[in-house]
A and B are shown apart, each in its own frame.
Chain A
Amino acid sequence: MKKFDKERVLLAVAGPVIALVLAIALTSVVLLASDRNPFEPYRLMLQQASYSDVQVLIVNQASMYYIAAIAVALGFRMNLFNIGVDGQYRLAVVMTAVVGANVALPNFLQIPLLLLVAMGTGALWAGIAGALKVTRGVSEVVATIMLNSIATAVIGYVTLAHVWGVQLGNNMTTGVMRKSGWIPGIDLGADVGEIYGLVFLAILLGVAYWLVLNRTRFGFDLRATGESETAAAASGVNAKRMVFVSMVISGAVAGLAGLPLLLGDTHTYSLSFPAGLGFTAIGIALLGRNHPGGIALAALLWALLDKASPALDYATPVAYEKEIATIMQGLIVFAVVISYEAVRQWGLRRQQKRVGAELAAAALKNS
């Protein structure tokens, strides 16, 4: 068998490219329909993206998206929809912030402790949904959605003044974390900003994701269960256990998603912490086709749209609505799923034709 299949590469690239072209075209239609210049916003956003301070923002944001999307992708590979990444990530950030503010250990113990707290909280929250699915048959989609809302209430309670809340300025926070738990970033100068130190954790997680899925027994079992539960069961995989374990791992990864920002910048949790990260991550995981490299590109693209669009509101001489970026993100996801499916079917038909032609040729030779 050929190692490098040109056809496969073509098919793999065609999906995202068609999707992007389609999404851009549709966004331009929206801009035209709302009486705006259909191309100027892209130029403005690309111009923004060429500034190094915006680039730092993009990389930092992308690192969080990346971790969350890896958590989602882990579930996807198993046919599990972990819609609860959002709640898992927020609850984990709060718990980490609380522990970081109230426990003082030396640096080399504090940081592993904080990482463990984050992973543990995320794993616990996702584990509830996993346990409910395995033991009681509750759909993980519904359970994680409910757990997202419950997480909001828990966070509200934790940040009450008589629990762990601390008033800082106008914001209710969890108090400033001890210095030993801060993770220094890479300083690129005063007017450029800092790249979070935990960006490297995101890269590491991507590598680990690829290794575990493609080079371990566990990863094989996981993918097999995702492809066909009955086939996996026949080859001795305990499907229920796999569901629970992968849900827990997905939650543990989700718990890490907020840490680049928490340990690298804010050092406390407040209501201004971004919500909805987990939902965005679903789109990113889809766009990246659950592949670690693809997810990285998707996360960067998404972060670019996020961080380059606010300037549209202040553009001169004509201002544009920054919400066009959100529309574009939605259109991208749509275009992506449709084009992937269309390309897949097109590929299947091509394959069938080729096989048919080869068989016909062989039949001709024999006769």
Chain B
Amino acid sequence: MSTATLTKPQAKRPGRSGRRLSLPALLLVIAGVLVLTSAVRLITGADGITSTGQMSTALRLAVPIGLAGLGGLWAERAGVVNIGLEGMMILGTWFGAWAGYQWGPWTGVAFGIIGGVLGGILHAVATVTFNVNHIVSGVAINILALGTTRYLSKFTFEGVPQGSSKQSPPIDSLGTFDIPGLSSGLNTLNGKHWFLVSDLAGLVGGLITDLSPLTVIAVALVPLSWWVLWRTAFGLRLRSCGENPVAAESLGVNVYKYKYLAVLISGGFAGLGGAFLSIVASNVYLDGQTAGRGYIGLAAMIFGNWMPGGLALGAGLFGYTDSLNLRGGTTNVHALILLLAILLVFGAAYLVWRKRHVPAAATAVVAVLMFLWYVSTDDVPRQVVTATPYVVTLLVLSFSAQHLRMPKADGLPYRKGQGK
């Protein structure tokens, strides 16, 4: 097909820097970070940072963020900024729990998706049909979703056994499974605390231990999204609406239809993320359960350069730093300070090599300060652990934001026939 050549993601435009990590280089960097992490673990004795349990928790925390990010990806690839993801997730948690406790968890998942789609319809009507500013409409959805779910909880969960206006009755579990043999073997290997081997075992083992079927589905949705968006005619048309709707229109693409579909799918993903929170991550709906994950999903998507793989990496990074909150965070984050200091030294060396001496000196100073902080304390205050995911997101974004390219017509209003 001739479209195949067109669908290939454009190689980075020859901008100022024009460099892009190739796959081998990226793998090398990841391997390097793993080796470093392993070394830091041996030095600090903070075995928790790569334990199976830690990785398993990280995956569980990453899934809703990744799903929200996928939701953002679908909408923004069609040119609609969706900051209402948070509200759609809230709808997902509520609808998922409401249907889940009455008719079983799988029905709950389906209703969670429907809840998110309802939010998506609202967003699509406002942004596509009425051309309302996308962020404004998103903020309104967030307010409305919060009010609606609180109002509905009063009618549905209050007075039901174990339910209240802020909490739903418990939902049955979807069940979990391990990969027989492999999971326990890797767990034992992880317990040996060998250099690198145990860390790898922890990483892989964490990803295949105590899996929920919904986690598997969610992870599978990442490559699926990529395939649909970049390897099918449907995806090409959808993305063309986000890059240049006027050109798409001239080729006979019904831009409104694709934008509507994209926003509805986006809402469905966010709703699924919400349902995951109320059905898998815990087993009840709680008021305020999403805790800003929709926004963080959006950040993960931007971090991932509007691509599914990058988005998954961002969600994983966030899920990992967030998991430190739940498991021995104060010592583990303390160990990560050393890792950060070492990474900064490498960064400074790289900057010297590029003959950029002032930033190099600044980076070196920060590295020294980090190292002093590490040496002079035994652990960090709890609050530092709480803030870690957000600080890491900000740091990563500030290093990568200039290499990002968003869909060209993202967030811009579009009227049929405006190009004439």
Interface residues of A (CB under 8 A from B): 30, 34, 81, 83, 132, 136-139, 141-143, 145-150, 152-154, 156-157, 160, 279-280, 282-283, 286, 321, 323-331, 333-334, 337-338, 341-342, 345
B390 touches A150 (CB 8 A): yes
Q: Please state if B132 and A337 are interface contacts (CB–CB under 8 Å).
A: yes
- Decide: A333 near B139, CB < 8 A? Known: A153-B386, A324-B151, A326-B147: yes
Q: Which of B6-14, B217-225, B392-400 contacts A (4 or more CB under 8 A)?
A: B392-400
Q: CB-CB < 8 A to B142: which residues of A?
A: 279
Which chain B residue has the least Cβ–Cβ distance from A129?
Answer: B394
The answer, among A34, A137, A283, A338, for a CB contact under 8 Å with B143, is A283
Q: Beyond A137-B401, A156-B386, A330-B140, is A337–B148 a contact (Cβ under 8 Å)?
A: no
Any chain A CB within 8 A of the CB of B248?
A: no
In the complex, what residues of A have CB within 8 A of residue B298's CB? 141-142
B381 touches A331 (CB 8 A): no
A309 to chain B, nearest CB (A): 11
Indicate if B361 sits at the interface (CB-CB under 8 A): no
Interface majority SS (helix, strand, loop, mixed), chain A: helix
Give B290-312 as 1s and 0s: 1 = Cβ < 8 Å from A's Cβ atoms: 00100110110010000000000
Q: Does B131 contact A (CB under 8 A)?
A: yes
Contact: A326 with B146, CB < 8 Å?
yes
Q: Is the interface of B mostly helix, strand, loop or mixed?
A: helix
B150 touches A341 (CB 8 A): no
Are B144 and A157 neighbours in the complex by a CB distance under 8 Å?
Answer: no
Q: How far is the CA of A149 from the CA of B139 in the complex (A)?
A: 17
Is B182 an interface residue when CB atoms closer than 8 A count as contact?
A: no
The smallest beta-carbon distance between B39 and chain A, in angstroms, is: 29
Asked, given contacts A137-B402, A321-B154, whether A145 binds B295 with beta carbons under 8 Å apart, the answer is: yes
Q: How far is the CA of A156 from the CA of B383 in the complex (A)?
A: 6
Q: Given A142-B298, A334-B126, A286 and B136 touching (CB < 8 A)?
A: yes
- Would you call A153 and B384 a contact (CB within 8 A)? yes
- In the bound complex, residues from chain B placing their C-beta under 8 Å from that of A145 are 292, 295-296, 299
Q: Which residue of B lies closest to A325 (CB)?
A: B147
* Inter-chain contact A150/B130, CB cutoff 8 Å: no
Q: Hey, which chain B residues are within 8 Å of A326, CB to CB?
A: 143, 146-147, 150-151
What chain B residues lie within 8 Å of A139 (beta carbons)? 302, 401
Complex CA–CA separation, A79 to B391 (angstroms): 25
B42 at the interface (CB under 8 A from A): no
Taking a contact as CB atoms under 8 Å apart, the answer to whether A329 and B147 are in contact is yes
Provide the residues of chain B in CB contact with A345, threshold 8 Å: 131
Which of B131, B143, B148, B387 interacts with A154 by CB under 8 Å? B387
Chain B: minimal CB distance from A76 (Å): 9
Q: List 27 A-B contacts (CB under 8 A).
A: A81-B135, A132-B397, A136-B401, A137-B401, A137-B402, A137-B404, A142-B397, A143-B397, A145-B295, A146-B390, A146-B391, A149-B389, A150-B390, A150-B391, A157-B381, A157-B384, A279-B143, A282-B139, A283-B140, A321-B151, A324-B151, A330-B145, A330-B146, A333-B139, A337-B126, A337-B130, A338-B130
Tell me which of A81, A149, A160, A286 has the highest count of chain B C-beta atoms within 10 A of its own C-beta: A149
CA distance A324 to B155 in the complex (A): 12
Chain B residue with Cβ nearest A81: B135
Residue of A138, A286, A326 contacting most chain B CB atoms (<10 Å): A138
- Name B371-420 residues within 8 Å CB distance of A: 381-384, 386-387, 389-391, 393-394, 397-399, 401-402, 404
Question: Residue B83 at the A interface, CB < 8 A?
Answer: yes
